[in-house]
Each structure stands twice: as structure tokens, then as C-alpha cells.
Amino acid sequence: MSIASILLFSAIAAAPAGEQAAMADYNVIPLPRHIEVPGNDYFVLDGRTKIVRGEGVSEKDADFLSEYIRQSTGIECHVTGQARKNAIWLSVSASCGQNPDGYTVTVDKTGIHVSGNSSDGLFHGIQTIRKSLPVGEYDEVAFPYAEIMDEPRFRYRAMHLDVSRHFFDKDFVKKYIDLLALHNMNFFHWHLTDDQGWRIEIRKYPLLAEKSCRRDYTVIRRDYDRNDGTPYGEGCYFTQEDIREIVQYALDRHIRIIPEIDMPGHMLAALAAYPQFGCTGGPYKVWTRWGVSDQVLCAGKDETVQFAKDVLSEVADLFPCRYIHIGGDECPKTEWKECPDCQARIVSEGIQQGSAESVEDALQGWFMKEMTDFLKTKGKTVIGWDELLESGAAGDDMTVMSWRGTEGGIAAAEHRMDAIMVPHSYLYFDYYQTDDRSQEPFAAGGKVTVEKVFNYDPYDGIPEKDRKYIIGVQANLWTEFIAEPSHAEYMVIPRIDALSEVQWSPLESRQYADFLKRLRRQLNLYDMLGYNYARYVFE
């Protein structure tokens, strides 16, 4: 049945908050691939409805659904092992299809049947039921009989969060993960270190937490002649116990965390604690300004290479995800050109310029390959920014994150490398959202509207034969100018809704006017959950 027909069902019985009954609406974000509503019959969910946990279904997933129903409607549905009717049956069945993130929902006179191709797929189906619910206090909710078959367009679906420029604590990171789960995302890219702050405990190098987390002050916006005069970041880092807790929190919600330890550039905070790993020996200070620092790790010193491997070893042990992001972007070679250790490394390793822009760029390629080979011994796959392609380091054992445009992804696919599309002109959520900047909080510049995100197609410019290498899409939230959780939420929502449609829904089914109708309903859920969001799209 058409989306218009489904909307008709919603209009029939959608009751305002406080009334006894309301109708579920399958027009959720992201929109499922196939929805069929065969008639006017419906199943009524109420306080007598049970949630039945089938074989292979985790207790947590069943409890999540119970809590979602209570949270949205006030109806208590308890989890049980069996029921004959008036139930929501949860199951995992490979018969649903090949895509592990796929799921089906069948609503009939007996109840609601949600089956995932895997536990991940089941969780996405649970999210669809959750988002179908009306928000309010109800005694019962009517679900029209339906057949929903759904699977994502891309296997990698993520959001990024920078906690180094400004720190966001454990509670907010969990709330951010909840937001990703709501949108059927399966990866969280966590940017943990940079020139302006180091945010993860490394036990072999305790000064990284004790000293590298703190900067003397912060510049006021982009005015490098003014600063706030206030030390920032004392104690602002995640202990390894914090990391393990957050990793498990994410895994419970079927999200894998990709940590990013950016190197060999963007390492000034680390050098402030351990100056011996730089080319000059310092002194260094945690950076108080934004931009790109010339002070980077020394690729020529064996002890620096070992330091990087030691850090990545502890990171690999903390994060079970197969991916580790090691950056590789914005690494000036100013000091390397003058550094005797770096120049000696070039000679001793026989490093040639090759396809790199300079022999020093090739040295960075050597460094990145050292880290890649080391992480392979830990069972990890490296992700790096698209500068990897310029250093001569790129190989089919790495994944390229294309941020400076789409060209990096196109080039990676041509070389049969996996690529993730993150072009800043479409997917940097620290950019403004409208032309009227007087009505918006200060941002990094540029403009990325909800509509621009929604209309982005990651396959643009990619030949059909190479599209299998474009494994997914993410958006980035850099936080130079974002210091508060409410501001971060404002920058992400509702652009994350448009992003989730790009990640999940087939291109041919996406219509912006229809999306806006669904978005209006989604805002009720944000209000209930206490998220801050931008409202300009409806003004």
C-alpha cells in the first residue's frame, strides 16, 4: 500500500496526549524499504500485551522494547517466555534475508511479530516499533495490520563526535549513543585526541591524562588575539574503566565504537607531556588555538614509533571493534624537513617519493604503514582520512574516510579500497544550518541544511563497478565552537534524521516533502527524550 494510504490510517485515530487510545504510524525515520497495509483491521496493544523473547533474543533487547513502550505511551508490557496471542514476538531468523541488519515486522490479529536476520536486525526492527508509537499517555495503541520488510542501503552507518576540543562527559556520550541507536546507526566514531586535549587514559604514559588534558585557556571564537583567560580541561578525560563502560553501553545498543587517535599530526597535546617524541624536544604546550600545528610526532625516532604503538596497543585492548582510526590528516612536514632523525629515517628505510607529493609525505606513508601492520597483529583494520592517498601508504588493507570532498572516496574505490563518505560540504554538522547566522549559534562556517544532507547521494561520481567499495556514510561534529551538550544536540538534530535516510533508505523512495511530514512526528519523540534541536526547517 502507498505511503499516502498509511498516512490515512494515522489520521483516522491519532489521538492527542491524555486520551485513552491512539494509532501507531509506520511512517518513521528512516523510512522502511517496504510497508504494506492490507486493510482496515488493527491489533490493539494494551497493558495485557506481553513481549515474548524467542530463542537467540537477548534479555536486554526485550527489556529495551518494554521500556520504549512505557516511555512513549505509559503502557506496561511485560516480558515473558511464551504467549498464544496479544503479544509482541521477538525472534532472530536467518530466513528473513541475507543482510544482517535486515528485519521484518508482521502485524496481525495475534499481535506483532518482529524478526531480525541477526540480533542487530532485530534491534532495528524494535526501533521501528518504538518510533511507530504515539507519544503521550494512553491505555491502548492500535497497530494497523501490516507487512514491513526492511534492510539498509549501506552496511556502515555512523556519526562522529569530537571530545578533544571541548570535553563531553560520560553521561552525554551515552545520550549521544542513544540518538544513534534511534536512527539505526551501527558505528560511533569517537575522536579522543588532538592538539587541544587528550581524553583517554593510557596507563603506560600516565601524563597523557594528567597533563595533556588541560590547556591554559581557549581563544574566543576565531580571534587569536583574545582568549577567555580560563584554564580548560583539568581532569577531563575518560579512564579505562569509563571506556569499558561506554563500550558496553554501545554494544548493548548494537553500536560499535571506533576510537580515533590522530597521528602523526594533531599530537601537540601528547608532546606537551612527552616532549622527547617530537623533532625538537620542545618545550611544547597543549594548544590554545584552533587550526593545524606544525609541531607533530617525530617519525624518525624509534622511541616515537614505539610510543605510538604502545598507545594503540592499549586502545586496541579497550575497543573490540575491528576498526581503529589513526587519522593521518593535516600533518605539516615543516619540522621533518629540518629534522636529522627524520632525514636519517628516509635514508635508512630507502624511502622514495614515489606517488607521494614529497619524500617527507612518503615518510608519513611509511609511519602509517608501520601502525597499520602493527594493528593487524591485534586483529584491527585501520581507517584514515583521505590524506592517506597522498602519502603512498594507502593499501587495500586500509579504509579511507573521504572528508575534503568526494574525490577521496572515488579514488579509493578506483584502487579497490573500502571508503566511507564524509564530504564536509554535505556532512559536517559544525557548519551553519541557515543563511541567517544572526539566528544561529556561532559555528565553524559554511552551510549545511537539512535538505542538503537529505539530497546527498554517496554514489555520486562512483562508477557502478566500484560502488561495492563505498561501504557507508557518516557525519562529523567537530567541537572547536561547541562547548555545551545542548549546543551539540542543536547542531546534530534534525540533520541526523536526514543523514539516517541517506544511510538507510533507497534513493528512489526518498522524497523531501514526505520526509518533513515524518520529521514533524519525530519531534514529539525528541521532546519526550529531552533533546534540543534546531527548528528552522519548520519556520
Task: Count CA atoms within 13 Å of residue 146 on its CB side.
Answer: 28
Residues 173 and 276 in one domain: yes
8 falls within a domain: yes
pLDDT score for 251: 98
- Tell whether pTM > 0.75: yes
* Neighbouring-strand partners of residue 159: 188, 475
| Marked catalytic residue, from 36, 147, 216, 330 | 330
Name the domain boundary from 150, 181, 210: 150
- Find the helix or strand (DSSP H, E) in which 208 lies: helix 207-210
Residue 411 near residue 424, CB atoms below 8 Å: no
Q: Which residues are registered as beta bridge partners of 107?
A: 112, 146
Task: Report residue 293 as a C-alpha cell.
Answer: 600545528
Q: Is 183 part of a structural domain of the chain?
A: yes
- Do 389 and 261 share a structural domain? yes
Whether 346 maps to a domain, the answer reads yes
Q: Which listed residue (113, 124, 191, 266) is catalytic?
A: 266
Domain co-membership, 265 together with 401 = yes
Please check whether residues 87 and 164 belong to one and the same domain: no
The C-alpha atoms of residue 156 and residue 134 are separated, in whole angstroms, by 29
Phi, psi (rounded to 5 degrees) for 81: -90, -20
Catalytic (active site) residue 330: yes
CATH number at residue 113: 3.30.379.10
Please check whether residues 394 and 408 belong to one and the same domain: yes
Give the CATH number for residue 359.
3.20.20.80
With a CB cutoff of 8 Å and minimum separation 6, the contacts of 257 are 187, 188, 190, 246, 247, 250, 319, 321
Looking at the domain assignment, is residue 15 inside a domain?
yes
For residue 371, which of 270, 241, 260, 213 has the smallest C-alpha distance? Answer: 260
- Residues 144 and 162 reside in one and the same domain: no
Query: What residue type is 331 in one-letter code?
Result: C
Same domain, 371 and 270: yes
Main-chain dihedrals φ then ψ at residue 72, nearest 5 degrees: -80, -35
Same domain, 296 and 409: yes
> Considering the domain boundaries, does residue 204 fall inside one?
yes
Please check whether residues 168 and 80 belong to one and the same domain.
Answer: no
Cα–Cα nearest to 23, from 7, 4, 39: 7
Same domain, 286 and 270: yes
Q: Same structural domain for residues 117 and 165?
A: no
Query: Would residue 31 be called left, alpha or beta, if left means φ above 0 and alpha means ψ between -120 and 50 degrees?
Result: beta
Point out the domain boundary residue: 467, 484, 501.
Answer: 484
**Whole domain around residue 259: which residue ranges?**
156-484
Q: Please check whether residue 267 lies inside any domain of the structure.
A: yes
Catalytic residue among 25, 194, 260, 466: 194
The count of structural domains within the chain is 2
- Collapse the DSSP code of 353 into the 3-class scheme (helix H, G, I; strand E, B; otherwise coil) and give the result: coil
Of all residues in the chain, the percent with pLDDT exceeding 70 is 96
Contacts of 256 by beta carbon, 8 Å cutoff, 6+ apart: 186, 187, 188, 250, 320, 321, 322, 323
35 and 163 together in one domain: no
Domain boundary among 484, 506, 532: 484
**Does 496 reside within a domain?**
no
Determine the pLDDT at residue 15: 41
- Identify the segments of the chain with pLDDT beneath 70: 1-19, 95-96
Is there a domain that residue 457 lies in? yes
Is residue 194 part of the annotated active site? The answer reads yes
